[in-house]
Structure 1
């Protein structure tokens, strides 16, 4: 049983590349598997953003891209921001 889906929230350039602000993906995968699926769904433009983006899992920076994501988690996709 996979549990509640993951909520993917896109910000700035990630939002433009994905063509949406948010989507739900079935749970039961790692961050690496999730980014591969998102690339397949949305194409090369989003793939380029995902390669340089930071990811927050329930508000915490994700350092282990192979660890299973918790069911029902919110994943924020944060591309590099200009300015300071």
Structure 2
């Protein structure tokens, strides 16, 4: 089981703050999880298909190619700009 959290406008656009997914052998990286979620439909594709999408694994920034394991926590959030 993995925990997925959605932050900022992703949470608003998807209408969900987080969820749990059963980890199976097809889900080895965060990118695999992202692709699975994008297959849910147009809104999911628009939100999680952004090229500026940021992700974290167990509360540390990472790339979508990061390997995942059972009981990991994944977070998706938009890129933040500041001054």
- Taking structure 2 as the reference length, the TM-score comes to 0.77
- Aligned length, in residue pairs: 78
Among 6, 13, 33, which residue is 1:10 paired with?
A: 6
Where does the alignment leave 5 or more consecutive residues of structure 1 unmatched? none
1:81 to partner: Cα distance? 3.1
Measured at CA, do residues 77 and 35 of structure 1 come closer, stay the same or move farther in structure 2, by a change above 3 Å?
same
Measure the CA separation in 2 of the matches of 1:56 and 1:62.
5
Could you list the per-position Cα deviations for residues 16-68 of structure 1 after superposition, in whole angstroms to 9, with x for gaps in the alignment?
22211010111241211101111122x22232222221000001122251x43
Where does the alignment leave 5 or more consecutive residues of structure 2 unmatched? none
Indicate the RMSD between aligned Cα atoms, in angstroms: 1.9
Larger relative helix fraction: 1
Query: Are the aligned partners of 1:14 and 1:46 in contact in 2 as well (CA < 8 Å)?
Result: no
Displaced runs of 4 or more, over 6 A: none
